[in-house]
Structure 1
Amino acid sequence: MVSFRVAAAQYPIERLESWDAYVAKLTRWVGEAADAGAKLAVFPEYGAMELASLDPATMGDLQGSIETVSALLPQVDALHADLAARTGMHILAASAPCRAADGRFHNAARLFAPNGKAATQDKLVMTRFEREQWHIAGGAGLKLFETALGKLSIVTCYDSEFPLLARAAVEAGAEVLLVPSCTDTLHGYWRVRIGAQARALEGQCYAVHSPTVGTAEWSPAVDENRGAAGVYGPPDAPRNGSWGMPEDGVLAVGVEGQAQWVLAEIDTAHVAALRADGGVLNAAHWVEQPGALPLPPVEVVDLG
């Protein structure tokens, strides 16, 4: 059982003047999370799309932006790996379009451990914008990451709105769900937030939600960004215990639209305690629903 501080980014999409400007920005953000005592930093879905501004010739073109960002990912990932090692933090990098061997692009979230290990979780269920305009393909499977902080899974944005995905991760042992998102309206933000809170309730686990914020008129991909970061748990308490989660399940939430880190304390022992002796036992009673099984397969990845 592990106790640690998590930092969820309300990350602003900005026009970058140079690669060095991006390095400075990311280094500053990661450094602020480390200085605040965080051991896990979570960046949002498609936060990497600001890198499209490094190529003025294509940044106003959707397909050109996708290709520019994908081509930069080796450099981006090397930077994240270095920052994770230097700060001793686990870092979920902002997701980005990544070209696969078959030529198709996937929405790839990459998790970096301070020991040098890293792994990728592709988004599985595409939104209409991704399907119809971006032509981003869904990934092939869900993963559980075994880390020094506990067992983590990633349900990116729209994925968090589909309970069987998170449930499969919970059945595999997930204690913390990471929910990076990118939404251009408050409708979208609330869909993801409600999904994250529902998944925390059903799985009796934590959900860490990180959105993009701000306006980027130069970008055809991430021009409008609305949301607030949050850390959620099940609104419950053990029957035989002196502590409990917040009554509304909200451990921390940011100010909508404001660039900031949102910090909260996570204790995986609380997950075990609630699953064993909560006021309700959602995790255990899931299988009593008609049609609850089978669940999608989960690949276990060792990042410890």
Structure 2
Amino acid sequence: MKIATAAYPIDWFDRPDAMAEKARRWVAEAAGDGADLLVFPEYGGMEWASLAGPAVRGDQAACTEAAAARWDLADALFSGLAREHGVHILGPSAPVDGGHGTHVNRAGFYRPDGAKAHADKQIMTQYERESWSLRPGEGPAIVDTALGRIGILICYDSEFPLLARALAEAGAEILLVPSCTDAPMGYHRVRIGCMARALENQMIVVQAVTVGAVDWCPAVDENHGAPAVYGPPDHGFPPDGVITQGPMDRAGWTYAEVDLEAVRNVRRAGQVRNFSHWPEQQGRVPHVTFLQFGAAPP
């Protein structure tokens, strides 16, 4: 299959048809280049808030409410584009109403047959806990597609091994990680998490990013990153595990051709067998050995 992963700028729209035109242009470009699976980033949907007009400028709470209010509009738009172009799409995430004054960070997944599902972020960053009205959503998400079984973890979630492991054990061979990071160090934390999840689960991991400055929305005011597709550094994959990586902070699609048979081969006959050897940790972790030092030589 061919995967397209986005470095996506968050724009301002004066009218709904401008928002729809951007989505159509991005999807049409990737589909026209032969992509089967398109991955948009975390919080790319914050741009939907601009449809509420100038009143949201500089007001994080207003931006959040406005983006959440347009979830259904965006959901229908990306579902229609998946059907129109015959592709699978992980749409840009955005806050949705979580009840009692809270919100959940959610990304929609759209199949070309019209079926759709969603994935929620599991673990909140300090900013999301302390400065935003966000709470965890439903459990780690996995979807069945004609391309294979696909897991989804949103940004910070990728830095926690057990979430990805649960998806791998449920049959995921591809993990999608839409991300939004405001500094290079944040981007590299997610990048390293993605590469580690690819190594330990012997799977393909796709990272999408937001890029550019957003002077009207405090929650996503700066965005840095490079989109990439990673695999285990073993037989059938690049020695460094980087299948493809786009340029830093440059908007556009980055593409990779992947074959899930390579995942199955490396799990079955790789130089190492991290996926199958994972359970061996369970009997050892509770039994930490405190080493005793002998006497120092005279």
**Residue of structure 2 in register with 1:130 after alignment:** 128
Deviation at 1:60, TM superposition (A): 1.8
Q: 1:190 to 1:273 in 2, by over 3 A?
A: same
- Which has the larger share of strand? 1
Q: 1:41 to 1:145 in 2, by over 3 A?
A: same
- 8 Å Cα contact 1:52-1:68 kept in structure 2: yes
Q: In structure 2, what is the Cα distance between the partners aligned to 1:274 and 1:52?
A: 44
Matches within 5 A, 1:1-304: 4-55=1-52, 56-101=54-99, 103-237=101-235, 244-290=236-282
Q: In structure 2, what is the Cα distance between the partners aligned to 1:195 and 1:86?
A: 34
Q: Which runs of 5+ in 2 are unaligned?
A: 286-298
- 8 Å Cα contact 2:49-2:70 kept in structure 1: no
- 8 Å Cα contact 1:6-1:266 kept in structure 2: yes
Q: In structure 2, what is the Cα distance between the partners aligned to 1:151 and 1:129?
A: 32
Q: In structure 1, what is the Cα distance between the partners aligned to 2:63 and 2:16?
A: 15
**Residue of structure 2 in register with 1:301 after alignment:** none
Q: In structure 1, what is the Cα distance between the partners aligned to 2:138 and 2:108?
A: 15
Q: Which runs of 5+ in 1 are unaligned?
A: 238-243, 294-304
Q: In structure 1, what is the Cα distance between the partners aligned to 2:209 and 2:284?
A: 30
- 8 Å Cα contact 1:286-1:292 kept in structure 2: no
Deviation at 1:101, TM superposition (A): 4.8
Q: TM-score, normalised by structure 1?
A: 0.91
Post-superposition Cα deviations, 1:154-202, rounded to whole Å, max 9, x if no partner, equal 1110000000000010011100000000000000000000000100001
Partner SS state of residue 45, structure 1: coil
Flag as ranges the 4+ runs of structure 1 deviating above 6 A.
none
- 8 Å Cα contact 1:183-1:226 kept in structure 2: yes
Q: 1:148 to 1:217 in 2, by over 3 A?
A: same
Post-superposition Cα deviations, 1:209-229, rounded to whole Å, max 9, x if no partner, equal 000000011111111000000
Higher mean displacement: 135-144 or 206-215: 135-144
**Residue of structure 1 in register with 2:289 after alignment:** none
**Residue of structure 1 in register with 2:294 after alignment:** none
Deviation at 1:109, TM superposition (A): 1.1
For the pair shown, which has the larger CA radius of gyration, 1 or 2?
A: 2
Deviation at 1:141, TM superposition (A): 1.0
Give the counterpart letter for 1:199 in structure 2: R
Q: In structure 2, what is the Cα distance between the partners aligned to 1:181 and 1:50?
A: 15
Give the aligned CA root-mean-square deviation in angstroms.
1.3
Deviation at 1:54, TM superposition (A): 1.9
**Residue of structure 1 in register with 2:296 after alignment:** none
Q: In structure 1, what is the Cα distance between the partners aligned to 2:99 and 2:262?
A: 41
**Residue of structure 1 in register with 2:292 after alignment:** none
Q: TM-score, normalised by structure 2?
A: 0.93
**Residue of structure 2 in register with 1:241 after alignment:** none
Give the counterpart letter for 2:26 in structure 1: W
- 8 Å Cα contact 2:119-2:138 kept in structure 1: no
Number of equivalent positions: 284
Percent identity (aligned): 51
